[in-house]
Amino acid sequence: MPLPSRSQTINFGVAAAPLLFFVLIGVNAIRYWITPYDSWRILQCVMLALCLLGYSLLSMLGSSNQGKWLSKKSVGTLAISKGMLMLLLTASSIAIVTIYHAVSAKLALLDAMLLLALYCYGYITYLAFKAIPTAIIERLIAIIVLLPIYYVILLLIAWLLYFTQAMPPVAWHIWFDNVRYFDDTLLPLIFLLWSQPGFLKRHRAVSVVLASCYLLLLWLDGARANWLGIATGLIMVCMFYRQGYKKLLLPVTSVIASYIMFKGLSAVESDSVAYDIARTTSSGRATMWIETLKAWAEQPLIGIGGGNFVYLAPQVNHTLGHPHNIILQWLIEWGVVGIMLVVMAGYALYKLIKQPNNMPPMLFAGCFALVVNMLLSGAQVYPSSQMAMALFFSYAAYQYQLPHHIALGHPPLDTGFANAASKDIVHANTSPNTSKTSTSKTSTSKRRPVQINLAYIGLAAILLVLSIITPSILSQGFNPLDQNLSVGPRFWSNTYAIHLPKIAE
């Protein structure tokens, strides 16, 4: 058997990175730092750096098998129009101004660079999926969605001890010291499971049992935002797919089964339920959202800077790292740039609704479920849920059936430009008038898209993040620059901190 090529190894490594990440956080492999959350952030940054470095090397060295794998020209690159490039440069300039004027410029810089690295990582993961045989990718996704079985087993052990030794059900979240971290990480994996990747297609009953157990965990945690997201996603399938209700047999069956198990357990031991899912309060969100909008109205152009939401504590009455709403988070922290992000995300969802049949129903539902969850939670800021959502959206984009394809698995250029450019070229080749041909060629040259390498950009961003936090890691942490403690996390578990606190000897 021939050894895998350089590009095969790198592409598979990028595709398998989420599997390694979830295994390592599940066993708490890194215990050097004070909290699991901080350990996950370090692990996330290191894995992003390795993946982006691998693709950057692939871009520089090219492929040894261009017939099967991505060519040197397309590795990690994205083609955009010159107008889009100018828009991105303008947004970057505004973001720099925002960072400069932030209360904590370093926190804003950390947030911006991490988000940029995550977006670039999601894109190269999509490219890696395109470069690997479908059977391997689906098998890999199937293995990943089996990982939460570990927590189901822990839950079963807890209840076994309760029935045999009268011990109260112990905490089965293990290293997830906040149930929201766990639930927001589990949600995208549930929709990947419902899409039945790989060998799970042949075992529908197994998928029902697994999904029921995973959903039971959400019931026990009283995860309202997750359940609202699930309901929204399934309703969207009914609305936009022909006879969509017929596609909901697996999810509806597992939801009903999980609810029956939940009612049985809660009847035996009511203390096993972390939160009541039927609670009617907003947990302070309504007040926080209103105050956030007021704060945004005061500086709507540049915002307050990423990661700086915690400095609104006197106004929103909470020292939280985020407003539990991704739209408000983008607006208050990044101003005009945040508006651009909201518009781009809304346009992507609009295009998805216009052509729902281009995507498998459960992945379509998952896209809307995750968005709804981010409108009510902090899934967009926790390291574990960030990696789970990056995996989901990359896989959903990979499964998206485009109306046309261009060579080497590269995403198509803007359809309008592509059609116009092709007409210009045809006209140039058939016109007998040399001057017209020259003019057409010149016009086409001016409208030629710009190739930007997201692997290089993402690598530069994550290396900048590591350059800021590495001194803290190597010297077992510094004392926080700000001794205040936050209620909710952001980059670190303490939102105020730029460096990890020093470990007590």
Q: How confident is the model at residue 160 (pLDDT cuts 50, 70, 90)?
A: confident
Cβ(14)–Cβ(124) below 8 Å? yes
Say if residue 50's pLDDT is above 80.
yes
pLDDT at 108: 95
How many angstroms separate the CA atoms of 387 and 251, rounded? 23
Look at 64-68, 319-323, 412-416 and tell me which has the smallest mean pLDDT. 412-416
* The total number of residues written for the chain in this structure: 505
Q: How confident is the model at residue 3 (pLDDT cuts 50, 70, 90)?
A: low
Half-sphere exposure of 105 (CA within 13 A, CB side): 6
Nearest to 214 by CA among 192, 240, 242, 235: 192
pLDDT at 232: 97
Say if residue 63's pLDDT is above 70.
no
Q: How confident is the model at residue 471 (pLDDT cuts 50, 70, 90)?
A: confident
| 19: amino acid identity, one letter | L
Give 452's strand partners. 78
Say if residue 234's pLDDT is above 80.
yes
Average confidence (pLDDT) over 327-340 = 95
pLDDT at 164: 76
In this structure, what are the phi and psi dihedrals at residue 78, rounded to the nearest 5 degrees? Answer: -135, 130
Look at 40-49, 150-159, 291-300, 367-376 and tell me which has the smallest mean pLDDT. 150-159
Q: How confident is the model at residue 415 (pLDDT cuts 50, 70, 90)?
A: very low
Mean pLDDT for the chain?
82
**Alpha-carbon distance values, 309 to 72, 116, 235, 324 (Å):** 42, 19, 33, 11
Of 51 and 60, the one with more pLDDT: 51
pLDDT at 401: 66
Could you tell me the sign of the dihedral formed by the alpha carbons of 450, 453, 454, 460, in that order?
Answer: negative
pLDDT at 408: 33
How many angstroms separate the CA atoms of 274 and 276, rounded? 7
pLDDT at 275: 64
Helix (H) or strand (E) holding 154: helix 149-165
395: CB partners within 8 A, 6+ apart: 129, 137, 141, 192, 363
The string of pLDDT tens digits covering residues 358-367 is: 899 999 999 9
DSSP-based helix, strand, coil % in the chain, nearest 5:
70, 0, 30
Q: Among residues of the chain, what percentage have pLDDT more than 90?
A: 50
Say if residue 209's pLDDT is above 70.
yes
Average confidence (pLDDT) over 146-156 = 90
DSSP letter string, 344-366: HHHHHHHHHHHSGGGS-HHHHHH
Say if residue 236's pLDDT is above 50.
yes
Say if residue 142's pLDDT is above 50.
yes
Look at 83-87, 203-207, 363-367, 436-440 and tell me which has the smallest mean pLDDT. 436-440
DSSP letter string, 96-152: HHHHHHSSSHHHHHHHHHHHHHHHHHHHHHHHHHHHS-HHHHHHHHHHHHHTTHHHH
Query: What's this model's pTM, rounded to 2 decimal places?
Result: 0.86
Look at 145-159, 220-234, 266-280, 406-420 and tell me which has the smallest mean pLDDT. 406-420
